[in-house]
Structure 1
């Protein structure tokens, strides 16, 4: 890997690591606030029994309790949070709404201004969103911040996946989604550990926000996508990337694949269509791909979030369950070692995830062993997260560069709608899910398995820059395309 590629990947991995902190915040908030408020109520009851023995001011508290002299401060903080615990139930829904809004605006902004500025802005705003509830614990501010954090999370995900894939050679495009997903799972485990060590509202938010603030200066040197720079005519930036060293020059030339002037000419030919935003809905090829990927996005979101947000319903400690939930995603780093093409791999993981999720939810309905139910659910979660990684890469390869982010935003929109629908199937007081939820979580991926037959194979081909490139790639044999690409790369290496 060239220095520019390394610069991209380690910064994006850092963004994904911290992105998981606020993603699952609501799971921990309910536990922290409930424990804190119950402890505060018990203290109040015991204090009322002591009557006149209670201290009358903070100075007497300091004299009587010594190291526990922050009793008054904790009591005031408890009252400020416990007074609006009912608002916390809306936090996850508001966050999902933010993810939905981010899918609507993130793609258009990235196509117009580039992925780098949108990603940097989202990372900075997300760090602020993590800190504000600790400083100002107010219900309306908390919900507004959760919505804004959801918008930033969606923009970070979309821009990071696209930026990582566009900085990767065609033969290694499966590694970025797997690596970024591995970093997200590490962040999930780290977030569970920090939440376990943070028993109060303020400590929880500070422990999850301060690490992001410390790392903010590291993102400033993140490079932009070379394909987007070529299409936008930003040859000055490309020249700066190429003159770094021989490895960077060879990397940029290999990623562009053809002459920069040809790419700019193709972009100008489709400029009118692209700016109107109607190109994805006009061409039958793009429309078919968009429809299938949109369904797959909604189905995988329903299954994934149905497991993640009900992880505490399996009868296991919520911190342990969340830790093992993150641990179950770490084997996804080995996905690139599987020698399967995009389409058969997606079909296999969709079928396995649907079967495992349906079986685990069926067992949970009949009150089976909690560890067995959770193990099957996490197996289904591993398969569905593998599907999400493959589909994230698949959608990047299916759509042309000139409208890629807009098409991905539409797919992500349906993904976020699936997230919202998953909140409509909460478990009953016994912890079991309804029959409708079981059928949706298990049947949705299995139906998507059949719809994958409508998609073309994209492994080993250059990213398409226009609809014509999509058509040419569809009519050519995948093996011939791969051999042609390998021969072109060999010629470029010999010339260097």
Structure 2
């Protein structure tokens, strides 16, 4: 009897698992806060060089109309014009030569009391630093996925989750008191590593305690809580307009998670695989008792678990096997691109909502609300077809993003609606790729495939903030890329197999078929199925 069969006897998603998911889902709200707070803390208000005031006695920024300095769509444009003769009219209307700002910058406080941009003057010549800082944060997500993934396999899911919750709160609070932009960026990098550590291992911990029939639903539950955090952030940021106070407000509550030391369980499956049977049995008995399905007398007697070892020599597999054979190479490269494109566009839209010309708080809340139906609809489409679902949502997302470039800037509502539809399609597609990729890769290299796919996704996250540096080439360039990348992914999805309601492939032979080309000839290659690791009760 393997562990999944034990779960079915004690309850695959009973009271024990439901309480576990409460503990797993609560941090997701704060993860969303940290992931998206730069929308507000890194916002660029309309600004003007102080030496550009039309008179010697400069008016207070609150009394000056900055609206004429912004290009359509809400992005500062003429704000960087610094007239040599201190005349705004000459600079903006007749193209008088401009110079660098010597008197410092004045910022509109109509929307924000302060941001990192207003505090450290990250505008005009220094504007790219803001995007680089966001990319460094995303790089932290990549580093965290690699480092804490391996640490969790070695030391367990629970301890790594607790460690990352501590890192998140310490460095999050520290960021609120950062003395300069470079220290702030370094602290945000560490927060990024902790985000990956929590998201990845919380999902794995929940999956390892959940029965096979409920895993897809349980995984999407965590996504809902991320969406709740997405929506709540708009309200928190609306009430707290100072970036340091906002950063403190989303970080300090993390100290409350100290009680997880006493309530968050270990993974019995991981304990069992690491020859810690007594601890595993203690947790299994506790879960069975809470679910109202106490262990039978036979199972109480059989309290020694063993990992079956094959007597014959096992073939070792690596990431090279993902691209060694023709079909596997094609499937792998397509899935890696889908991970990259989904995350690139998801964060490209989420982190740059000020481009759509509407109130930034309202737009952020709308984008958060879109997450809910997008996650929900996948529950109804996935069981029908993984392939068509992935293809359709990518096409919807890409087409909607492309259409925004044809909408005049003064029709900001229509532009926002199209961007919202694009966000809907990409969010749904991102939910599907988690399930789809796990079914495309065969068992013997599935972990390698998902791991590299996750790395490609993080590369997309690193590049997402940099998308908007392309506005110097063309104001439409970011949305053109946000449209073309998913559409290309939609076409490539046609080359993937349908996996809905089909058995999972176990070997590369299952993917390739029996005839594989080798050195120009045909040769039948048999790959043994890796059934090692099946955990059974020794009775």
Q: TM-score range by the shorter chain?
A: 0.7 to 0.9
- Compute the TM-score of the two structures, normalised by the length of structure 2: 0.68
CA distances 1:113-166 after superposition (whole Å, capped 9, x unpaired):
222222221121111221112223322211111111111212222222222223
Query: What is the match of residue 32 of structure 2?
Result: 20
Q: Which aligned pairs between 1:436-447 and structure 2 lie closer than 5 A?
A: 436-447=480-491
CA distances 1:76-119 after superposition (whole Å, capped 9, x unpaired):
99999335674434221111111222233233222222222222
The question of 1:235 aligning with 2:277 is answered: yes
Displacement of 1:412: 0.8
The whole-number CA distance in structure 2 between the counterparts of 1:473 and 1:167 is 29
CA pair 374-120 structure 1, distance change in 2 beyond 3 A = same
CA distances 1:281-307 after superposition (whole Å, capped 9, x unpaired):
779887666444322211211221222
Query: What is the match of residue 190 of structure 2?
Result: 148
CA pair 308-441 structure 1, distance change in 2 beyond 3 A = farther
Displacement of 1:422: 3.0
| Contact 2:162 2:260 (8 Å CA) reproduced | no
- Compute the TM-score of the two structures, normalised by the length of structure 1: 0.74
Give the unaligned 5+ runs of structure 2: 1-12, 62-112, 297-301, 514-539
Q: Which aligned pairs between 1:56-455 and structure 2 lie closer than 5 A?
A: 81-82=119-120, 86=126, 87-218=129-260, 220-244=262-286, 245-246=288-289, 248=291, 264-266=307-309, 273=316, 290-332=332-374, 334-335=376-377, 337-338=379-380, 340-341=382-383, 344-367=385-408, 369-396=411-438, 406-426=448-468, 428=471, 432-433=476-477, 436-453=480-497
Q: Which moved more, 1:378-387 or 1:178-187?
A: 378-387
The whole-number CA distance in structure 2 between the counterparts of 1:458 and 1:270 is 33
Secondary structure at the counterpart of residue 425 of structure 1: helix
The whole-number CA distance in structure 2 between the counterparts of 1:252 and 1:418 is 47
Query: What is the match of residue 70 of structure 2?
Result: none
Q: Which moved more, 1:128-137 or 1:187-196?
A: 128-137
Q: Which aligned pairs between 1:29-48 and structure 2 lie closer than 5 A?
A: 29-31=41-43, 34=45, 45=58
Higher relative helix content:
1
| Contact 1:179 1:333 (8 Å CA) reproduced | no
Secondary structure at the counterpart of residue 275 of structure 2: coil
The whole-number CA distance in structure 1 between the counterparts of 2:268 and 2:321 is 23
Displacement of 1:313: 0.7
The whole-number CA distance in structure 1 between the counterparts of 2:311 and 2:157 is 20
